[in-house]
Amino acid sequence: MLNTRALSYLSEVIRRGSLRKAATYLGIDVSAISRQIRYLEEQLDTRLLERHAGGIKVTEAGRLLVDHYHSQQAAEDAVISRLSALQGLVSGQVRIAVGEGFIADLISAPLQSFMTTYPGIELEVVMAGVNEAMALVKDREVELALLYAPPVDPQLTCHVETRQPLDLIVPTDHELAHFSRPVALQDLVRWPIGLMDNPFGMRQMVNAVAHQERIFLQARLHTNSVAVLKNFVRSGIGVTFMPELTVAEEIQQGDITVLPMAYPVLSDARAQIVSLTGRELTVAAKACLEHLCRGMRFFNADAPRLLGAKR
């Protein structure tokens, strides 16, 4: 039988990239990790790690072994959670990666109602752009991720998907607000543009359209904060791109308006909740997923202006 402690050490070494970093994270001596992994290699008669000047590289056998370990751990967690559910106890921890653009929708009501309905479930919310959020799911650091405009990835299972176009966000009294047609990138040359940093789905979509249209977008403001961009627009400094629901409160207050862009790739942008393919969700994670699908406006329907157009 494989030593689960040795497997956990191997997993942490791969995740941290070195024996020393893994030892620091686990709070143990480097030699203890090295010894356990060496015993594991001797037991299996195969190399699990290759050591070189640049650090540690996992072998194919090592990766296979760690994937097996993770699958076992996830299955065990799922069984334990189901046993608790049979006793009428829904408890545990759920970790979620969330882009900042979802936060206002998440905390407006769904988060509070979930915590009230399931007092035994502890939530951990990690802020992350789309690239980082996908990596956190794959590395099993989180159970669920809320993604905006993610690329297709067979390692991820999509549980819900809605259309949430990436719109142009401008002050209500802005000259562009009087356009009677969808806005093109060429229309924006007269105004300062603010953009999210490259790891975020919103920025990646704008980059793709600019590349396709052979247009160089000179952003005057780069940031990793949705709040900064909102204030950038609300103060009248410039314009930016966001889904309608991200600025729902500002629209209701009359500070901001959203304008459709003239590109199908932007109007067809999707919001998704995903988990790792093949990883069985615990009862707590399933309850959280169902609650988010029902309670978050991002996931219980398409964007409001799309629904209005259908009426």
Where does residue 46 rank: exposed (0-12), middle (13-18), buried (19+ CB within 10 A)? middle
> Running DSSP on this structure, what letter comes out for residue 152?
P
**Which residues share a beta bridge with 95?**
124
pTM above 0.85, yes or no: no
Span 222-271, pLDDT tens digits:
999 999 999 999 999 999 999 999 999 999 999 999 999 999 999 999 99
Residue 124, phi then psi, degrees to nearest 5: -125, 120
As a whole-number percent, the residues of the chain with pLDDT over 90 amount to 53
- Per-residue pLDDT at 162 exceeds 80: yes
Q: What is the mean pLDDT of residues 19-44?
A: 84
Cβ pair 204, 198 in contact under 8 A: yes
> Running DSSP on this structure, what letter comes out for residue 13?
H
Q: Which domains does the chain have, with CATH numbers?
A: 4-68 (1.10.10.10), 90-163+270-310 (3.40.190.10), 166-267 (3.40.190.290)
Residue 90: predicted pLDDT: 63
Residue 135, phi then psi, degrees to nearest 5: -65, -40
